[in-house]
Amino acid sequence: SEINNATFQYSAPSNIALVKYWGKKENQIPANPSISFTLNNCKTITKLSVENKKSIINNSLENKISFDLFFEGKPKESFNPKIEKFLERILVYCPFLNDYHLTIHTENTFPHSSGIASSASGMAALAMNIMNLEKELSPSISDDYFYSKASFLARLGSGSACRSIKGEVVIWGNHKEVSNSSDLFGVEFSNIHSNFKNYQDTILLVDKGEKQVSSTVGHNLMHNHPYAEKRFEQAHENLSKIKDILSTGNISEFIKIVESEALTLHAMMMTSMPYFILMKPNTLEIINRIWKFRNETQIPVCFTLDAGANVHILYPENVKEEVLHFIKNELVDYCQNEQYICDQIGNGAKSI
Ligand code: PMV
């Protein structure tokens, strides 16, 4: 079928990895499998309007990806190269894109330059819109195809974005114990114990500056990294363990894997050549205070980190009050402008 004009709108959330993806091969193939919690409040909202080029009078756009991008209502030149590269990369899988001029309006629910990467939520939201166009053109495609391909496309924009499409917990990357796992797209992991229901993630904004090291550079530093092979093996083992932990509800074991994964991610950065440190003094202060609080109260709160200085504090919903009290009393002083974001597990992208 053919359509001339259409508009779609999707939100897609950010996600936080429990077992980290760090290192990739050609074509955004991960060097090891990873697993993440999908977030609920930190998201990108993207509207895609398409106009068939045939209907554009004086069409000078033939056979070339053409789009306009607006961020928070204004043209955003600096985003164009990344989007152009993405659209060109997915064109072989979505040849119909050549027939349309695309107008993309995008915004985030979290403050920009907060140090929260918007690439996962942004690429996931765009991929969902593009799949919706495909569905308009080919209404018979199955739900399974729709979501797998959305994740596949999102991966080509930003690896971790493939974990922001569908499901509360998502696994990306081949793993021997997960029969439907794939290096090409994320799959939902659904056997989750009620202890993890509405699991909380409070994100402490320690450093809102631009990343010192892009994740592309970081992933590439795992090539010829002295500890790479051992690390990739460990990620497989940790994924085996955390799957069982999520199913049995063993929070104390969960804490061990999650914190170890965060520190290992940063250890890989510290031991690459060139080496770098993305934690800030306040990151360490916060970690130490979390450990002290946990020891003293036995409240099962733990931290994880992305490729940056911000700290994600993970804890069960039933201790929310105590933990938020602790954060307000002891941790906000270590945040830039006392800023933090309260989030929790969510279940993926949504049509708006
Ligand atoms: O999706 P990328 O290429 O920005 O990589 C993200 C890597 C980490 O956030 C550090 C870990 C992860 O698995 O999300």
CA distance 59 to 101: 10
Say if 352 falls within a structural domain: no
Quick: pLDDT tens for 31-43: 999 999 999 999 9
- The CATH number of whichever domain residue 247 belongs to comes to 3.30.70.890
Quick: pLDDT tens for 81-107: 999 999 999 999 999 999 999 999 999
Q: How far lies 54's CA from each of 51, 61, 62, 63, 170, in Å? A: 9, 10, 9, 11, 40
Question: Quick one: 252 and 173 in the same domain?
Answer: no
pTM of this structure: 0.96
CA of 55 from ligand 1 middle (Å) equals 40
pLDDT at res. 62: 61
Q: Are 315 and 302 in contact (CB under 8 A)?
A: yes
CA of 63 from ligand 1 middle (Å) equals 33
Question: Quick one: 135 and 239 in the same domain?
Answer: no
Check pocket membership of 115 for ligand 1, CB cut-off 6 A: no
Question: Quick one: 169 and 245 in the same domain?
Answer: no
- Nearest ligand 1 atom, CA 16: 14
CA of 296 from ligand 1 middle (Å) equals 33
- For 214-220, what is the mean pLDDT? 90
- Nearest ligand 1 atom, CA 120: 1
Residues 6+ positions from 131 with CB-CB distance below 8 Å: 146, 149, 150, 153
pLDDT at res. 316: 98
Quick: pLDDT tens for 153-198: 999 999 999 999 999 999 999 999 999 999 999 999 999 999 999 9
Quick: pLDDT tens for 1-40: 678 899 999 999 999 999 999 999 999 999 999 999 999 9
CA of 308 from ligand 1 middle (Å) equals 10
CA of 101 from ligand 1 middle (Å) equals 31
**How many domains does one find in the chain?**
2
- Nearest ligand 1 atom, CA 28: 3
- The CATH number of whichever domain residue 98 belongs to comes to 3.30.230.10
Question: Quick one: 269 and 167 in the same domain?
Answer: no
Counting other chains too, the contacts that 189-193 makes at CB distance below 8 Å and 24 or more residues apart are 189/35, 189/243, 189/246, 191/243, 191/246, 191/247, 192/168, 192/246, 192/247, 193/246, 193/247, 193/248, 193/249
Domain that holds residue 245: 198-344
**Best residue for ligand 1 mutational test, from 16, 18, 19, 22 (most atoms within 8 Å of Cβ):** 22
Query: Does the pLDDT at position 145 exceed 90?
Result: yes
Check pocket membership of 118 for ligand 1, CB cut-off 6 A: no
Question: Quick one: 233 and 93 in the same domain?
Answer: no
Question: Quick one: 280 and 176 in the same domain?
Answer: no
Residue 64 — very low, low, confident or very high, per pLDDT cuts 50/70/90? Answer: confident
| Location of structure tokens 């063993």 | 250
Mean residue pLDDT across the chain: 94
